[in-house]
Structure 1
Amino acid sequence: MADHLPAFFPAESSTVTVRHDDSLISVPLRRAIHLDIILPPDYSQRSTPYPVLYLNDGQDLTRLQMTRVLDSLYQKRAIQPFVLVAIHAGDRIQEYGTAARPDYMNRGSKAGLYTDFVLTELLPYVKKHYNISSEPTKSVFAGFSLGGLSAFDIVFHHPEHFSRSGVFSGSFWWRSKSTEDGYRDETDRIMHDLVRKGSHHRQLKFWFETGTDDETSDRNNNGIIDSIEDTTDLIAELVRKGYSRTEEIRYVEIAGGKHDQETWSQILPDFLIWAFGQ
């Protein structure tokens, strides 16, 4: 693991600073890891460790208009300063998923390796090179679509490292059996099953977003698209596990919201204020 880090690159017309970091090589993933680190305006002016947000699909920061969103929130003093660690995806179909097992098509076969990378390589690396807190209460993990499934799985199963999870249009349809030929056993949804078999951790909190135009599929023909129903069913599992729907879970449903970065960018302020509000 190299100690050499590249120079800072200030974002155009921005008060935040973006650092492109390619120094981390992952052993379990057998590839170089590309990180975009966004530092808050006062990063060089204080020694107190910052809260941190780890974000899957970090290659999408431009389409998410992340620096613009952060600048606006900082200027309004709507959020406390934090460090954003955006992890560029590799083989996302295989690395994102649920660490316990892949889906029925063997997608997510490297999700366990990705979790290993996050816990044993990424967290120590970021702690060493950036002024961030290692306290679970100061650590958040979020993602989009499959990356959201991955982020939720990591947080839910590792409360010793994280306290909050953000999921935008999460792929909670992830299943152990196909729904083709009319098969609709909802107990085969993997993340729902993992929550049922998991434990309640009082410090965990969860933020979910779906859009009414995320997709058109409605496998049980009840008038609710699958992406919404899979998410609300997962929330129901969390509630049955003991999590408070009002205090520990936030669900945002966007009328006309699509499964794309433009929709997710629009709702980013809601998530960031929830996670890092003053």
Structure 2
Amino acid sequence: MYLNDGQNLFGDRPTLSGLSWHAAEAAAGLINSGALPPFVIVGIDHSGNTRSYDYLPYPPGNANGYRLDAESWPGGGVDTYLRAVVDEILPYTERTYGVSSEPALRGFGGSSFGGICALCAALRHPGVFGSLLVESPSLWFADERLLKHDLPDFTGPWPARVFLAMGTKEYSGIINSDQSVFDSKLVADTHELAALLERRGLVEGERLFVMVQEGAAHNEQAWAGRLQVALRFLGTDWRAAKHC
């Protein structure tokens, strides 16, 4: 399972919020309980100030005034970033750590802009990843161009499984102002994406898991809390695939 924002995955100290996904503990719990076969989580560190450029196909904009802080952030480098993931990071980890080269056994994902990057991977590199983890995707970016145009226009194959999650207080839960309208918009966008995926054959409960978590905010605490559920769903077919 390849995940963006590697600094936020394993330890609390490297993160900006002071909390991580505790990904190692989540994986160990699933493996030790027998819920999943042994697997590896590969954290890909973000680049700091150019993170939005690497993860987005377009500059983010300001979400109709709800994200004025993002108005000047860069975007448009996701193709270069994903090419590096596919051409450099995947072969390196397969060669160095012995992880699988089978698409069915590969997952990719992230949160926020990292979740957008995961969706772009499905569009740009269909067939490379067998599952996607899409946490709190910032579908508001670039006037929802990805949600309204790029995703509906895509006619290629989707990964076998997608885990999609959003909190009901994504932004009101982390800043000291009323963001309830924006929060509701993010939840509505999530349902719109889920409906699009179902139309593409990802039936909810089979190939698609959608979670809208009451009271959850846009932070590592929320993503950590949902990680075991996500991995358990995305890894459902791993055991069978390993024995094929």
TM-score range, shorter chain: 0.7 to 0.9
Partner of 1:198: 154
Deviation at 1:173, TM superposition (A): 1.2
Is the 8 Å Cα contact of residues 122 and 159 (structure 2) preserved in structure 1? no
Partner of 1:218: 181
Is the 8 Å Cα contact of residues 155 and 164 (structure 1) preserved in structure 2? no
Give the unaligned 5+ runs of structure 2. Answer: 12-19, 62-70, 172-178, 240-244
Q: Distance in 1 between matches of 2:122 and 2:52?
A: 19
Q: Does 1:86 align with 2:43?
A: yes
1:50-100: CA deviation from partner (whole Å, max 9, x where unpaired) = xxx0000010122112222222222211111111110010021111113xx
Q: Distance in 2 between matches of 1:233 and 1:143?
A: 19
Higher relative contact order (CA 8 A, sep 6+): 2
Q: Does 1:55 align with 2:3?
A: yes
Equivalent residue for 1:72, pick from 15, 20, 29: 29
SS in 2 for 1:272: helix
Q: Which has the larger share of strand?
A: 1
| Aligned counterparts, 1:97-116, within 5 A | 97-98=56-57, 101-104=58-61, 107-116=74-83
Residue-pair matches, total: 209
| Aligned counterparts, 1:67-216, within 5 A | 67-90=24-47, 91-98=50-57, 101-104=58-61, 107-175=74-142, 177=143, 188-201=144-157, 203-215=159-171, 216=179
- Coordinate RMSD, CA, aligned: 2.0
1:153-191: CA deviation from partner (whole Å, max 9, x where unpaired) = 10243222111101111111122x4xxxxxxxxxx5324
Deviation at 1:203, TM superposition (A): 4.8
Is the 8 Å Cα contact of residues 126 and 156 (structure 2) preserved in structure 1? no
SS in 1 for 2:127: coil
In the superposition, the TM-score normalised over structure 2's length comes to 0.78
> Percent identity at matched positions?
28
Q: Distance in 2 between matches of 1:211 and 1:118?
A: 28
Give the unaligned 5+ runs of structure 1. Answer: 1-52, 178-187
Is the 8 Å Cα contact of residues 137 and 162 (structure 1) preserved in structure 2? yes
Equivalent residue for 2:218, pick from 259, 263, 278: 259
| Aligned counterparts, 1:267-278, within 5 A | 267-277=226-236
Partner of 1:240: 199
Is the 8 Å Cα contact of residues 134 and 161 (structure 1) preserved in structure 2? no
Q: Distance in 2 between matches of 1:142 and 1:262?
A: 17
Is the 8 Å Cα contact of residues 141 and 152 (structure 1) preserved in structure 2? no
Is the 8 Å Cα contact of residues 127 and 158 (structure 2) preserved in structure 1? no
Q: Distance in 2 between matches of 1:234 and 1:152?
A: 11
Q: Which has the larger share of helix?
A: 2
